[in-house]
Amino acid sequence: MFSEFLQYLFTGITIGATYALIALGFTLIYNASHVINFAQGEFLMIGGMATVSLTAMGVPMLLAIVLAVVLAGVLGVALQRLAIAPAKNADVVTLIIITIGASIFIRGLAQLVWGKEYHVMPNFSGDEPIQIFGAVLNSQSLWVLGVGSVLVAVLVYFFTRTLTGKAILATSMNKDAARLVGIRTQVVLMLAFMVSALLGSVAGIVVAPITFTSYDIGIILGLKGFVAAAIGGLGSGMGAVVGGLALGVVEAMAAGYLSSDYKDAVAFSMILLVLFFMPRGLFGAKVVERV
């Protein structure tokens, strides 16, 4: 009984940590530009796929990971520079459609380069599972949690202790005021997309041994990350982390105790409940509208 519960909890926290990282990516871009970036999931796909194909070409694992992350970062910057920045005066809705176009484009490219098959990535440190109170923990789960915690700590440091991080925060609070004090908001936007792409690709790489990877894996992972961000309160970093973990755990419990067919419906029912009863999400800021 207890071991079963523990098993679901491990599964939930692992996938939840991935959702949290994706949600953080959404949050970053949303704060900086109010755009919901539907290409967010593609960064995960690029991270996982590039690592798999580079290692298959004989590149050492660590170097392959670094190259994959750099590739995703470049892609993030390119997305902002080439697709978002030129559409300066567009509606938010139009910008969202641009990110959808970008995600279809990136997915199409990945399909051309890597084909439609599923690719398997080996665990980072062996296939030997760890036994805890009768539950089995995949060693890769520890990697996901460890890397996730480090990334969150780095982000917290970045936003509270560095000037660049504070510049991004300032821009998200008030773009005009940020520009007045000398912050180059275009650079900040570019940075937000880059950091968000880096986060996504790292998440995609550490989770790839558990979920496998293919050219179209970004759609559903991206959406789950979006749901996690919305549950936490779109725009709140803390909310993204808590929302991601909560979503992962509830989803794993529902799949284990209720019905695995309806596992994906859990995420979407949760978002409706949150919207009905606490529309700003768990950690969303109170918004006062100036007229």
Partner 1 sequence: MMAQFSQFRLKGLVFLALVVFALPLFISNPFHYSLATQIALIAGAVVGLNLLVGFAGQISLGHAGFFGIGAYFSGIMTSNYGWSAIPALIVGAVGVAIIAWVVGRPILRLKGHYLSMATLAVGFIIAIILNNEREITGGPDGMPVPSFDVFGWELSVFGQYSLFGMEISGDLAWYLFAGVVLLVAVWLAQNLIDSPIGRALRSVHGSEVAASVVGVNTAKYKSLVFVISAVYASVMGALYGHFQGFITPSVASFDFSILLITMVVLGGMGSTIGVIIGAVVLELLPQLLADFQEMEMVLFGLILMLTMIFMPKGLLPTAANFLAKRRSKAAGGDA
Q: By CB under 8 A, name the binding residues for partner 1.
A: 36, 83, 86-87, 89-94, 96-98, 100-109, 111-112, 219, 223, 226-227, 230, 261-262, 264-265, 268-269, 271-272, 275-276, 279, 287, 289, 291
Q: Whole-number minimum distance, CB 106 to partner 1, in Å?
A: 7
Q: Whole-number minimum distance, CB 11 to partner 1, in Å?
A: 20
3-state DSSP of 44-86: HHHHHHHHHHHHHCCCCHHHHHHHHHHHHHHHHHHHHHHHHCC
CA angle 38/40/41 to nearest 5° reads 100
Q: Whole-number minimum distance, CB 97 to partner 1, in Å?
A: 5
Q: Whole-number minimum distance, CB 109 to partner 1, in Å?
A: 6
Q: From the CB of residue 253, how many other CB atoms can be counted at a distance below 10 Å?
A: 16
Q: Whole-number minimum distance, CB 85 to partner 1, in Å?
A: 9
Amino acid at 290: R
Q: Whole-number minimum distance, CB 195 to partner 1, in Å?
A: 22
Measured in whole angstroms, the distance separating CA 238 from the mean position of its chain's CA atoms is 14
Q: Whole-number minimum distance, CB 18 to partner 1, in Å?
A: 19
CA angle 234/34/146 to nearest 5° reads 50
- Comparing CB distances to partner 1, the nearer of 56 and 92 is 92
Give the helix ranges, DSSP H, for 88-184.
92-114, 139-161, 163-173, 175-180
For residues 228 and 20, the answer to whether their CB atoms sit within 8 Å is yes
- Comparing CB distances to partner 1, the nearer of 107 and 147 is 107
HSE value, Cβ hemisphere, 13 Å, CA-based, for 114: 26
Please give the helix or strand (H or E) that residue 225 lies within, else none: helix 217-232
- Comparing CB distances to partner 1, the nearer of 91 and 128 is 91
- Comparing CB distances to partner 1, the nearer of 102 and 195 is 102
> Distance between CA atoms of 192 and 159, rounded to whole angstroms?
12
- Comparing CB distances to partner 1, the nearer of 111 and 125 is 111
- Comparing CB distances to partner 1, the nearer of 6 and 90 is 90
Q: From the CB of residue 97, how many other CB atoms can be counted at a distance below 10 Å?
A: 14
- Comparing CB distances to partner 1, the nearer of 32 and 271 is 271
Q: What are the tokens at 39? A: 């290409």
